[in-house]
């Protein structure tokens, strides 16, 4: 393997060949170039970024060479031979093509050839600027050489996904539990620029089974542990952490809502959802609320948009009640004010991650459609119900019949008397 830095050192060298030092990782059958002779007798160590920790494993080194071949078709031949395992060239034959190759004696030589003038035809054939060779007196075999691309990570999506637009957006995520953790990962994966994590709780042993975080995070604040987890995978993501309770600290959360484009709420319990609905509506920001109902039988994701067409969470809940539907969310409410700890998210872990990912999808689609007019991201409705372990006993609209079923519905217009939706 060649990191970008090794590639640059070979490309920029005035020599036609020189010494390479490779690190050998026998358990992975892998060689990594760790130093390059760039000028006569000057060997420069190659930068291997710390995040590629496995490429930095081990300390067995293996001498090797790099050369610019004298014949233009060498890399085409390399490509042809790689496609037919077991084929190779005699050492003498290879020596004619690459006169500088060292005699490996009875040992094993490694060679990287660099052809800076590769023709368009050769590239179309699949030949690359760099090729690897295993050199023995009994014959020379092509080996595959993997080069670190110029762009890795979210930037690779640039031709098919609006990463530049999303990089400019920010969201608040209230609740960093099982759904919230999965939503945060998905938001990062979609390429959101900044996430503000809000949660007052610690990550404890009982959280581990359902969470994207693992044993290494036990005892830490959820917001801080989740931030580290996200930054490790998406180093360019901006993450802010707030150890706040969205209900008790609503006055501190309110100004934060003004600074973002959308609010997600994956917090457990009805009170945080009501606060998020209220604060985001008053700030003129859309919000997306997700939870599971009835011990994880049904998943629910609601999008609340601050427009005259759609009401807030309370308007929606009142509408269900007016229809005569028992609100399964009200179960959660019972525990509030009773001093009991309300029921935690009780679904099985991947079901919660599924809801978290869908919630992130809905949030991202909302940003792209409403702020950028991207109609490919238009959603079927404002309110999604998902069958996880549907018991078929609920009233409409919760009467999902099948696991995996998704029902999209709208939500009603604001009630005339609504304090949240009413004019300021």
- What residue ranges bind Zn ion (CB under 5 A)? 311-312, 315, 414, 418, 420-421
DSSP state of 388: S
- In the bound complex, what is the minimum distance in angstroms from residue 415's beta carbon to Zn ion? 6
Q: What is the DSSP string of 193-260?
A: SEEEEE--PBP-GGGGGGSSS-GGGTTSBHHHHHHHHHHHH-TT-EEEEE---TTTTHHHHHHHHHTS
- In the bound complex, what is the minimum distance in angstroms from residue 382's beta carbon to Zn ion? 13
Distance from the Cα of residue 340 to its chain's centroid: 37
Cβ 331 vs Cβ 128: under 8 Å: no
- In the bound complex, what is the minimum distance in angstroms from residue 385's beta carbon to Zn ion? 20
Choose between 39 and 307: whose C-beta lies nearer to Zn ion. Answer: 307
Choose between 34 and 315: whose C-beta lies nearer to Zn ion. Answer: 315
- In the bound complex, what is the minimum distance in angstroms from residue 309's beta carbon to Zn ion? 12
Residues 345, 349, 352, CA angle at the centre, nearest 5°? 60
Choose between 297 and 302: whose C-beta lies nearer to Zn ion. Answer: 302
Cβ 167 vs Cβ 261: under 8 Å: no
- In the bound complex, what is the minimum distance in angstroms from residue 232's beta carbon to Zn ion? 40
- In the bound complex, what is the minimum distance in angstroms from residue 308's beta carbon to Zn ion? 11
Tokens of 402: 């099948």
Q: Give residue for tokens 């599924």.
A: 354
Choose between 217 and 420: whose C-beta lies nearer to Zn ion. Answer: 420
Choose between 13 and 287: whose C-beta lies nearer to Zn ion. Answer: 287
Cβ 19 vs Cβ 42: under 8 Å: no
Choose between 174 and 315: whose C-beta lies nearer to Zn ion. Answer: 315
């Amino acid at each position: 393997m060649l990191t970008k830095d090794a590639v640059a050192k070979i490309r920029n060298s005035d020599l036609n060949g020189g010494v390479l030092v490779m690190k050998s990782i026998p358990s992975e059958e892998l060689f990594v170039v760790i130093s390059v002779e760039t000028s006569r007798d000057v060997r420069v160590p190659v930068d291997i970024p710390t995040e590629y920790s496995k490429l930095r494993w081990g300390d067995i080194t293996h001498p090797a060479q790099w050369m610019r071949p004298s014949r233009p078709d060498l890399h085409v031949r390399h490509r042809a031979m790689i496609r037919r395992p077991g084929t190779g060239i005699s050492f003498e034959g290879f020596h004619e093509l690459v006169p500088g190759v060292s005699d490996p004696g009875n040992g094993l030589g490694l060679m990287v050839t660099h052809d800076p003038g590769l023709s368009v035809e050769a590239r179309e054939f699949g030949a690359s600027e760099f090729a690897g060779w295993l050199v023995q007196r009994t014959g020379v075999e092509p080996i595959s050489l993997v080069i670190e691309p110029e762009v890795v990570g979210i930037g690779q999506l640039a031709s098919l996904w609006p990463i530049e637009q999303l990089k400019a957006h920010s969201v608040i995520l209230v609740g960093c539990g099982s759904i919230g953790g999965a939503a945060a990962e998905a938001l990062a994966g979609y390429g959101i620029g900044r996430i503000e994590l809000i949660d007052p709780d610690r990550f404890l042993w009982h959280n581990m089974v359902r969470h994207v975080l693992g044993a290494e995070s036990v005892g830490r604040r959820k917001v801080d542990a989740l931030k580290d987890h996200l930054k490790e995978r998406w180093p360019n993501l901006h993450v802010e952490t707030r150890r706040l309770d969205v209900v008790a600290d609503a006055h501190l959360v309110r100004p934060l809502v003004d600074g973002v484009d959308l609010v997600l709420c994956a917090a457990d319990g009805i009170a945080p959802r009501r606060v998020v609905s209220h604060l985001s509506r008053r700030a003129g920001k859309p919000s997306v609320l997700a939870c599971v109902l009835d011990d994880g039988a049904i998943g629910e994701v609601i999008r609340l948009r601050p427009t005259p067409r759609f009401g807030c969470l309370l308007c929606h809940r009142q509408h269900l009640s007016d229809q005569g539907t028992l609100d399964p969310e009200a179960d959660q409410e019972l525990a509030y004010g009773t001093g009991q700890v309300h029921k935690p998210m009780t679904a099985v872990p991947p079901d919660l991650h599924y809801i978290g990912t869908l919630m992130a999808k809905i949030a991202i689609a909302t940003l792209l459609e409403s702020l950028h007019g991207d109609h490919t991201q238009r959603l079927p409705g404002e309110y999604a119900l998902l069958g996880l372990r549907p018991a078929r006993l609920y009233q409409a609209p919760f009467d999902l019949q099948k696991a995996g079923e998704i029902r999209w519905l709208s939500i009603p217009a604001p009630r005339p008397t609504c304090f949240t939706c009413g004019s300021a």
